[in-house]
Structure 1
Amino acid sequence: MTLAEISLDDRLLNEFQRNVPVVARPFAEIAKSVGTTEDTVLARMQALVARGAVTRFGATCRPNTAGASTLAAVSAPEWEVEKTAAIINAQPGVNHSYLREHRWNIWFVATGPDRAHVDAALAQIGAETGLRVLDLRLVAPFNIDLGFDMSGKAAHGVEPSRVATLGAIDATDRKLMQVLSTGLPMVARPFRAVAPVCDLDEAGALRRAARLLEEGYLTRFGVIVRHRALGWRANAMVVWQVPPAQVAQAGPALAAVPGVTLCYQRKAVPGVWPYTLYNMIHGRSREDAMAVLKRARALPELRGVPHEILFSLRCFKQTGALIDLPRKEPA
């Protein structure tokens, strides 16, 4: 790999995680920004996917708008971790799963077109593993952008988007959101390539995608990176026992801390899991991650608040959310 390719890769990974124009030739627009050709950008993007640095080029969807999702966890015996993870990951809609340093050691996100689908997946996991499944439902997001400055120096807190009522989206929107969540093909005109899957033409797909982004159903559009492959292996979830009445003040303050890459409020489980405020830290080393946590602990809103830090040991699965169920072919 040449120095020019390395430099271009760095820019693609850091500068285009969000705010890529929703246009017929998005890679050509990126090429203009970095002073190269569309073919070169496509070639580098394909190479980044091949080496595992990029999971996909597409969109992330706001939880619990077009579909449903929840964060969940089980406490698997050490000798059952592999088997338990396989059961969890086999469920349609489980799109992220991790092994973390805690008694509650396997954490995952279950998604689906509706809450009933998510509930059924959690029930199936509980039945097959024989384990209690913590269902930690989202209450309020403070930063769900899922992207961050690869230098680790800046926070990407996001302003609340204007989210339309669910009645404003239809089955075609859901199909398009599924395509965008799964990832667009690395071709010059990706929307033209996927439009027929959504029963649309290219112009219609672009128009709908732009509206979904504007209204907040999509939180961002661009490059979705795989942090571990890029050296960000000291990843930790921090959980805080903040009284619900104080979360509205503590959440935005925590989301603004440089190095905090996600921040949201979830329901506690009385007597089992008392934590209400969550944040993610992605660091290159544990020392880096702990430095971010030190800054968070110093916030007036969090000073003295009981908390735990759960470092990730292993990523089992990382894909887009399940929003629209695949069509069943006629028998």
Structure 2
Amino acid sequence: MMTDVLDERLGARLLNEWQQDFPLCPAPFAELASKLGVAETAVLRMLERLRREGRIARVGAVFAPKRIGASSLAAMAVPADKLARVTEAVNRFPEVNQNYVRQHFYNFWFVVTAGSPGRLQAALGAIEQAAGLPVLRLPMVSEYRRDDDRRRSVSADTDGVLAAGLDEIGRRLVMALQEGLPFFIRPFSVLASRVGCEEREVIERIRRWSDEGAIKRFGVVVRRRASDREVKALLVMDVPDAEVGSVSRRLLDETGVILVDERERALPAWPYNLFCTVGAPSEAALIERLDALRGLPALSGFVREVLLHAPEAPAA
């Protein structure tokens, strides 16, 4: 019983404390074990267990959109009696970072990241085959975020310089990182042998890409699901392209709006290009916030829908 309690504590610390700032050194798991006060083997066993249970996707890099690699939001219309099987099939892919079930015809949503646009499309194609269902592809165009109450926007189309300028070693390393770190004593050495360079160069490149912002974070990549402490919904709208920026910034002034994304439409099935995530501490508060957004004059005339999270979502 005591061992189970200690294991749960270790698992919780790995999930909560090491999603970023992961040690970039020849023996990172030993360094991590030292900080956690346990044996290196305990860390490796727990990480493997978390991956096997589907609670983490990998330990490794999360790339910024279109800086290095590629990513896309995706959705499928899954019959209720097939939802558990499809969830299990999709979660087998290391490219899948998170998924959600929403109350909509397109009810199963997930995020896919890969080392290159070609690999992204290959992963999406493989997911379609594994699930036996077509995938709606919704890559990002621009993102709008709150930053200490200051609005900021980033165009996903203007920051692909690093991706275009990678040499062969860099391209191979991006591909290798997509699978995550191998759970060995010297994982960067294993990556170096796969890529064809020295261990030191692998670590230096990862550190440089992190400093340059091409890697958003390096650490434990958790398969996320809707928070138990906050109720969320997705408001989607069809907004003229020229008005997306002004509408997005207006939305970010409203209580409960967490983030706003502009994404490519998937016509004719999906006409919406503006995605607004809204959160609240309760379902009643969420409905009030959604009603307030619907009443904004700035949103009048736009075709829109609200996608609520399903009450029971498969573990992501």
Query: What does 1:1-331 correspond to in 2, within 5 Å?
Result: 2=2, 3-34=5-36, 36-39=37-40, 40-75=42-77, 85=86, 95=96, 99-109=101-111, 113-114=116-117, 118=121, 134-142=136-144, 164-227=161-224, 232=228, 238-241=234-237, 243=239, 244-245=241-242, 247-248=244-245, 251=248, 254=252, 260=258, 263-268=260-265, 273-279=270-276, 288=282, 291=285, 305=299, 306-312=304-310, 314-315=313-314
Deviation sequence 1:231-254 (CA, Å, 0-9, x none):
859986513327445544665775
Deviation sequence 1:139-192 (CA, Å, 0-9, x none):
11346xxxxxxxxxx99x999697643332123223222332222123332212
Deviation sequence 1:62-118 (CA, Å, 0-9, x none):
2334344433445456678789x59x959x997366653212234455666336973
Give the match's secondary structure for 1:45.
helix
Change in CA separation of 1:12 and 1:81 when aligned onto 2, cut-off 3 Å:
closer
**For 1:273 and 1:225, how far apart are their aligned partners in 2?**
28
Q: CA RMSD in A?
A: 4.9
**For 1:97 and 1:63, how far apart are their aligned partners in 2?**
18
Gaps of 5+ in 1: 144-153, 319-331
- Preserved CA contact (<8 Å) 1:139 1:267: yes
**For 1:47 and 1:123, how far apart are their aligned partners in 2?**
25
Letter of the 1:214 counterpart: D
- Larger mean CA deviation between 55-64 and 191-200 belongs to 55-64
Deviation sequence 1:21-53 (CA, Å, 0-9, x none):
32223334434544x145244444344334443
- Larger mean CA deviation between 74-83 and 51-60 belongs to 74-83
**For 2:127 and 2:14, how far apart are their aligned partners in 1?**
40
Give the match's secondary structure for 1:165.
helix
Deviation sequence 1:198-255 (CA, Å, 0-9, x none):
1122101101111222223322111112335x98599865133274455446657759
- Preserved CA contact (<8 Å) 2:57 2:223: yes
Give the match's secondary structure for 1:241.
strand
Letter of the 1:178 counterpart: M
- Preserved CA contact (<8 Å) 1:236 1:311: yes
Change in CA separation of 1:77 and 1:248 when aligned onto 2, cut-off 3 Å:
same
Give the match's secondary structure for 2:309.
strand
How many residue pairs match? The answer is: 296
- Larger mean CA deviation between 94-103 and 208-217 belongs to 94-103
Give the match's secondary structure for 1:55.
strand
How far has the Cα of 1:276 moved from its partner?
A: 2.9
How far has the Cα of 1:268 moved from its partner?
A: 3.5
- Preserved CA contact (<8 Å) 2:63 2:69: no
**For 2:128 and 2:44, how far apart are their aligned partners in 1?**
39
Letter of the 1:169 counterpart: L
- Larger mean CA deviation between 288-297 and 7-16 belongs to 288-297
- Preserved CA contact (<8 Å) 1:249 1:301: no
Deviation sequence 1:245-284 (CA, Å, 0-9, x none):
5544665775998895x7522134577544333255799x
Letter of the 2:213 counterpart: G
Gaps of 5+ in 2: none
